[in-house]
Amino acid sequence: MKFQKLQGFSGKALALFLAGAALFCSLPACDEDTDTSLPRTTCGVYFYGTDARRKTVDSLTVVALTDYGDSVLYQRFSGQNISLPLRYIGDSTQFSIQQGEHLPDTLTVVHRNTPNFVSLDGGYVMNYEILRVRSTGYAIDTVSVVSPSISTHEQENLAITYP
C-alpha cells in the first residue's frame, strides 16, 4: 500500500496533529465519578458518652454491608463524628461498627429516598429521610435520630452513645 503526501501538511505537522489527537482521545470523560464539584449526601453520625457529652472514639472500624460485597469505610478511625453514605436503591442501609476489641454492632438505617434534580450535566442528588434506626447493642448503648432529613448540608443526623 502506498501513501500519498497530503497537500499542505509536512511530515512534522502531521506528526504533531496525530500526537495531539491521541492525547485528546486519552483524556477521561467528565462523569459523576470524576466530578468532585457535585454535592454529596451523607448521614452525619456523632458519638457521645453516657454523660451526653461528645466523645472521641478510638480504633473505630465501619464497614458498609451490601448484597454485592462489603466495603470498609473507616479503619482504626479516631474522632468525634463520621459521615456514612446511604444506599440509592432500597429503603435501608446496614453498617458493621466496631470500636476497639468489642463485638461489632450492626447498625440499620431505614430511610426514604427522594431524588433531587441538580442540572442536566449534574443529574440527580439523592436526599433521604430517616424513618427509623436500630442497633444490635453489643457495644453501642443507644442510637437516636437527631435530624431525620439528609441533604447536601453537612449536619448531625444520628447520635451514637457508648458507655
Cα 141 to chain centroid, rounded: 26
Which sequence spans correspond to the domains of the chain? 43-162
Looking at residue 58, its pLDDT comes to 93
C-alpha–C-alpha distance, residues 60 and 123, integer Å = 34
Q: Are strands 57-65 and 92-99 parallel, antiparallel or unpaired?
A: antiparallel
Rg (CA), the chain: 24
Backbone φ, ψ for residue 152 (5° rounding) = -80, -5
Backbone φ, ψ for residue 64 (5° rounding) = -80, 125
- Block means of pLDDT (10 residues each) for the chain, 163 residues, are 54 58 50 55 95 94 90 96 94 96 96 89 89 96 96 91 92
Looking at residue 122, its pLDDT comes to 76
Sheet holding 142-145, edge to edge: 81-84, 43-49, 158-162, 142-145
Residues for the chain: how many in total?
163
The answer to whether the beta carbons of residues 83 and 62 sit under 8 Å apart is no
Strand partners, 74: 62
C-alpha–C-alpha distance, residues 92 and 109, integer Å = 5
3-state secondary structure (DSSP) of residue 42: coil
Looking at residue 154, its pLDDT comes to 86
Looking at residue 149, its pLDDT comes to 96
Looking at residue 151, its pLDDT comes to 86
Per-residue pLDDT of 2-25, as tens digits, reads 555 555 556 665 555 555 555 454
Note if the pTM is more than 0.75.
no
All three cell numbers of 73, joined, read 469505610
Q: For residue 145, give the nearest of 60, 135, 153, 136 by alpha carbon.
A: 135
